[in-house]
Amino acid sequence: MVQIVPMAKRHIPALVALEQVCFSQPWTAAGFAEELENPLAVFLVAEIDGEAVGYMGFHDVVGEGFVTNVAVSPANRRQGIAAALLTAALAECTRRGVTRLCLEVRESNAAAIALYTRFGFEQDGRRPRFYIAPTEDALLYSWTQK
């Protein structure tokens, strides 16, 4: 069973390993440690039997949220973990009074786009050549509290 918990220092090694597998420009341990000290940062970790298998982070900046990353271990995809993380993040947005949550997603990431649109995110922009390794446009999506 998946549990969603706040990120703690103990999660950092697993999240760094997850980043290495999921992204061409992975975050470092120092980057995650900085987020633990950042009062604007909200990072949630998906655990199965105490093991971190995914995470989602966002920054709460004066009532608007900006997603930093969403990642799920390839071995644990298609099990509802990203949806559980997003559900918890949107609940946290509501609790904090965040009325809008924005993110960028690779244009080719059909699975993520399907998830975001299922949760009510709408495409509202594009950043040409935003991503590198490989170079690709970012689609901008946002969710607004109803």
Q: List the one residue out of 53, 48, 140 whose CA is nearest residue 101.
A: 140
Query: Within the chain, how many helices (H) and strands (E) appear?
Result: 4, 7
Domain boundaries, the chain: 2-144
| pLDDT at position 43 | 98
Residue 110 CB burial class (10 angstroms; 0-12, 13-18, ≥19): exposed
Confidence of residue 133 (pLDDT cuts 50, 70, 90): confident
Give the architecture (CATH level 2) of 2-144.
Answer: 3-Layer(aba) Sandwich (3.40)
| pLDDT at position 146 | 78
pTM of this structure: 0.92
What pLDDT digit, counting tens, does each position of 74-128 carry?
A: 999 999 999 999 999 999 999 999 999 999 999 999 999 999 999 999 999 999 9
| pLDDT at position 25 | 87
Choose, from 55, 116, 131, 141, the residue flagged as catalytic.
116
Asked about 104 being catalytic, the answer comes back as yes
Choose, from 35, 47, 92, 104, the residue flagged as catalytic.
104
What pLDDT digit, counting tens, does each position of 6-51 carry?
A: 999 999 999 999 999 998 889 999 999 999 999 999 999 999 999 9
